[in-house]
Structure 1
Amino acid sequence: MAWDVFSIVGTIAFAISGAIVAMEEEYDLFGVYLLGIVTAFGGGAIRNTLIGVPVTALWEQETMFQIALISITIVFIFPQKLLKHWHKWGNFFDAIGLSAFAIQGALFAVNLNLPVSAAIVAAVLTGSGGGIIRDLLAGRKPLVLREEVYAVWAAIAGIFIGLGIFKQDLLLYILFVSMTSLRVLSYMKHWRLPFKSLRGQNSGK
C-alpha cells in the first residue's frame, strides 16, 4: 500500500514541480508537459539504469503517466492570479516529490534484496534525479548542488529503510512527513552543508 501511495504522491508532486518551473521560464505548452513528465519519471529512469532494471519498465506505468498528465494540465489551466508565489509552490512540491520518491526508491532496492548502499543510492537518485534533469533543462543550477541541504534527506531515508528500521506503512508515512518538513525547513532557514570556496585563492593570482 505504501509503495503505491508514494509512487502516486511523488509523480503528482514532481509533475507539478516541473510544470511550475517550465512556466517560470515561460516555456510553451509542449515545454510545460515535457518538463513535467521528465521531472516525474527522470529519477526512476536513472535509478533503474544503475541497479540493473530495464528502463523500459517505466513504460509499464501507464496509470502514472496519466496521473502526471492530468496534474500538469490542472496546473497549467489554474488561474494565474491564484498562484502568485510560484517559487514557494515549486519548492513545496519539490520537497514532497523528493520525500516520496526517495522512500519509494529505497523500498524498490530493498524489494530486490540489494544491500544498504544500493538503497541509499536508489533513494538519492529516485528522489533527486528528476529534479536534476528538470533544472538542467531549465538552465538552472540543480537544487542538489546548491548550498541548501537537499539530497542528504534522501540519503538518510535510504539508510533507515535499507537497515530495516522503517518497514511498516505507518512508520514510512511518518518518515515521509518528517523528510518533507525537514526539506521545507532547510530552504526556509537556509540550512547548508559545510563547503570550501577557492574563489579567493583564484582571484589573488
Structure 2
Amino acid sequence: MTWEVLSIIGTIAFAISGAIIGMEEKYDILGVYILGIVTAFGGGAIRNLLIGVPVSALWDQSILFYIAFLAMTAVFVFPHNLLRHWKRWGNFFDAIGLSAFAIQGALYAVKMDHPLSAVIVAAVLTGSGGGMLRDVLAGRKPTVLKDEIYAVWAIVAGLLIGFKVIVSPLELYTLFFGIVVLRVCSYMYHWRLPIKSL
C-alpha cells in the first residue's frame, strides 16, 4: 500500500511539474505531455537501467501513465493564471515528487537486496532524474546541479532506508513529509551548499 501511494503521489506531482514548465515555456500540447511524462517516468527509467531492472518493466505501470495523463490534462485545461503561481506551487509539487520518488527508489533497491551505495543512487536518480531531464529539455540549468539544496534530501532518504532506520509504513510517511518540509524550507530560506569558485 505504501509503495503504491508513494508511486501515485510522485507521478502526479512530477507530471504536473513538467506540464507547468512546458506551459511556461510556451510548448504546444504535445510538448507539455512529453515534458510531463519525461519528468514523471524519466528518473525511474534511469534507475531501472542502473540497478538491473529490465527497461520493459516501465510498461507495466500503465495505470500510472493514465494517472499522469489525467493530471497533465487537468493542468493544461486549467486557467492560464496558474502559471503566475508557478514560483510558489511549482516548487511545492517538485518537493512532493522529490520526496515520494526518492523513498520509492530506495525501497525498490532495498527490495532487490542491493548494497547501501545502490540504495542511495536509486533514491537520488528516482527523486531527481526526471527533474533533470525536464530541465534539460526545457533549456534550463538542472535544479539538482545548482547550489540550492535538492538531491541532498534524496541522499538522506536513501541513507535512512538503506540503514533500515526507517522501516514501517508510518515511519515512511513521516520521512515523506519530513523531506517535503526540508525541501520547501531549503528554497524558502535559501539554504545553500558550499560553493568553490575559481
Q: Which amino acid aligns with 2:180?
A: T
Name the structure 2 match of 1:81: 81
Provide the TM-score with structure 2 as the length reference.
0.98
Number of residue pairs matched? 198
- The separation in 1 between residues aligned to 2:172 and 2:76, in whole angstroms, is 31
Would you say the 8 A contact 2:186–2:192 is kept in 1?
yes
Q: What's the counterpart of residue 68 of structure 1?
A: 68
Aligned residue for 1:94, secondary structure, equals helix
- Secondary structure, in 3 states, of the residue corresponding to 2:84? coil
One-letter identity of the residue aligned with 1:19: A
User: Which moved further from structure 2: 87-96 or 143-152?
Assistant: 87-96
The one-letter code sitting in structure 1 at the alignment partner of 2:89 is W
| CA positional deviation for 1:80 | 2.1
In structure 1, the residue matched to 2:182 is: 182
Could you list the per-position Cα deviations for residues 104-150 of structure 1 after superposition, in whole angstroms to 9, with x for gaps in the alignment? 00000000011111110000000000000000000000000011100
| 8 A contact 2:20–2:83 mirrored in 1 | no
- Structure 2: which 5+ residue stretches go unaligned? none
The aligned counterpart of 1:34 is: 34
Which is greater in Rg?
Answer: 1
Give the match for residue 109 of structure 1. Answer: 109
Structure 2 CA distance, aligned partners of 1:21 and 1:170?
Answer: 33
Asked if 1:193 corresponds to 2:190, the answer is no
Distance 1:82 1:120, change over 3 A: closer
Whether the 8 Å contact between 2:14 and 2:93 is mirrored in structure 1 is yes
Shift of 1:87: 2.4
- Which amino acid in structure 1 is aligned with residue 35 of structure 2? L
Does the aligned pair in 1 maintain the 2:14–2:97 contact within 8 Å?
yes
Kindly indicate whether the alpha-carbon contact (under 8 Å) linking 2:10 and 2:98 is maintained by their aligned counterparts in 1: yes
1:15-41 per-residue CA deviation (whole Å, 9 max, x = no partner) reads: 000001101101000000000000000
Residue pair 2:43, 2:127 contacting (<8 A) in 1 also? yes
Given the two structures, how large is their TM-score scaled by the length of structure 1?
Answer: 0.95
| Aligned counterpart, 2:90 | 90
Report the Cα distance in structure 2 between the residues aligned to 1:4 and 1:84, rounded to whole angstroms: 32
- Residue of structure 2 in register with 1:150 after alignment: 150
Rounded to whole Å, the distance in 2 between the matches of 1:82 and 1:4 is 28
- The residue aligned with 2:162 is 162
Q: How do residues 124-135 of structure 1 correspond to structure 2 at under 5 angstroms?
A: 124-135=124-135
Q: Deviations over 1:76-124 (max 9, x none)?
A: 1112235531222211111100000000000000000111111100000
AA matched with 2:84: K
Secondary structure of 1:123 counterpart: helix
What's 2:138 paired with? Answer: 138
